[in-house]
């Protein structure tokens, strides 16, 4: 396996990539021009999310920040989830999402809009700096150049006019039975979630999967807000969910912390009102561990 991975990395240095691949049986194209390169090097990347989707009993999966649709398409093909809706703000990535649905001969609701705290037309910032992918996964609302804490604050972006819909509209209209909402909107998660505070206080049927990184300046306030409305937080790993008193944004090993640019080892955090016993049972059922 190491030799195979080494060969892939050597070939990639010279620009050689297979332009299509399968991720857990799902077909995707434009590998070289997208973040799918990471799956090319490691087919088990984010295996923890794929296993959570397949092993859980959700009736609805809402994928906010769907990118190319690898989680939502996987959910459609490999799980018993009945209702799947995917939102993607980038018009470029959205066209690839449509292409991948057709490639895999599946159909579910997909929406080319940003999701946030209100109904509005906003600027969506697409990375266009040298070496950026043609289909980048880290486009975002809000100008990164105006935020010195943003990892990409020194990079070049182009702005696109994008329609934003409120998260309130989604929870009012799209929740159907037990629901998992994956929300990955590059730092705008807290604003969107705070806009549905009253809903969150009362809801018992919705769980959230949210990416929180070690360099996120609002990681504590986001985590504490969800705790304040009744959710418990868990770090999602390849061996199961770990209960958190605070966001466990663990760094990747063998990196120098003095550079201020650490990358996060485990990014995804699961928020639920399920009791601890239910989470323990879920761990054993899906991951075979309760760590």
Question: How high is the pLDDT of residue 285?
Answer: 96
- Within 104-187, where are the H helices? 167-173
Domain locations in the chain as residue ranges: 15-112+168-286
**Spatial CB neighbours of 52, under 8 Å, sequence gap ≥ 6:** 180, 209, 236, 270, 286
**Cα 83 from Cα 79, distance rounded (Å):** 11
Question: How high is the pLDDT of residue 9?
Answer: 60
Q: Which of 89, 151, 74 is nearest to 120 (CA)?
A: 89
Question: How high is the pLDDT of residue 2?
Answer: 46
Specify the 3-state DSSP secondary structure of 8.
helix
DSSP output for 174-222 = T--SSEEEEE--TT-HHHHHHTTHHHHHH-SSEEEEEE--TT-TTHHHH
Q: What is the pLDDT of residues 159-205, one digit of tens each?
A: 999 999 999 999 999 999 999 999 999 889 999 999 999 999 999 99
Question: How high is the pLDDT of residue 3?
Answer: 45
Q: What is the pLDDT of residues 82-121, one digit of tens each?
A: 999 999 999 999 999 999 999 999 999 999 999 999 999 9
Do strands 157-166 and 232-237 pair parallel, antiparallel, or not at all (unpaired)?
Answer: unpaired
Angle between helices 276-286 and 47-55 (to 10 degrees): 110
Question: How high is the pLDDT of residue 21?
Answer: 85
**Exposed e or buried b for every residue in 11-43, given b needs 16+ CB within 10 A?**
eeeeeebeeebebbebebbbbbbbbbbebbeee
Specify the 3-state DSSP secondary structure of 170.
helix
Low-confidence ranges of the chain (pLDDT < 50): 1-3
Read off the tokens for 137.
Answer: 């996964």
Task: Give 94: exposed, middle or buried? Use CB within 10 Å, 0-12, 13-18, 19+.
Answer: buried
Q: Which CATH class, in words, describes the domain spanning 15-112+168-286?
A: alpha beta
- Within the chain, where are the H helices? 2-13, 37-41, 47-55, 70-78, 91-103, 167-173, 189-194, 197-202, 219-228, 276-286
Q: Which of 96, 27, 26, 110 is nearest to 68 (CA)?
A: 96
Question: How high is the pLDDT of residue 43?
Answer: 84
């Amino acid at each position: 396996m190491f030799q195979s991975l080494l060969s892939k990395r050597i070939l990639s240095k010279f620009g050689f990539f297979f332009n299509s691949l399968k991720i857990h049986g799902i077909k995707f194209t434009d590998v070289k021009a997208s973040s799918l390169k990471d799956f090319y090097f490691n087919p088990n990347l984010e295996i923890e999310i794929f296993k959570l989707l397949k092993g859980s009993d959700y009736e609805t999966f809402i994928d906010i920040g769907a990118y190319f649709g690898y989680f939502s398409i996987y959910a459609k093909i490999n799980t018993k989830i009945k209702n799947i809706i995917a939102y993607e703000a980038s018009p470029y990535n959205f066209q690839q999402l449509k292409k991948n649905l057709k490639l895999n001969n599946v159909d579910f609701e997909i929406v080319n809009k940003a999701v946030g705290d209100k109904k509005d037309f906003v600027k969506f910032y697409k990375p266009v700096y040298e070496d950026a992918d043609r289909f980048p996964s880290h486009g975002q609302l809000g100008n990164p150049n105006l935020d010195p804490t943003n990892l990409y604050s020194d990079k070049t972006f182009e702005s696109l006019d994008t329609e934003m819909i409120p998260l309130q509209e989604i929870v009012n209209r799209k929740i159907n039975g037990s629901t998992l909402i994956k929300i990955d909107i590059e730092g705008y998660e807290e604003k969107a979630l705070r806009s549905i505070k009253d809903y969150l206080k009362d809801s018992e049927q919705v769980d959230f999967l949210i990416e929180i990184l070690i360099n996120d300046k609002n990681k504590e306030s986001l985590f504490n807000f969800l705790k304040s409305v009744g959710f418990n937080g868990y770090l999602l790993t390849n061996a199961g969910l770990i209960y958190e008193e605070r966001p466990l944004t663990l760094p990747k090993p063998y990196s120098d912390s003095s550079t201020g640019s650490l990358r996060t080892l485990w990014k995804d955090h699961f928020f639920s009102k399920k009791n601890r016993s239910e989470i323990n049972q879920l761990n054993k059922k899906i991951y075979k561990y309760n760590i």
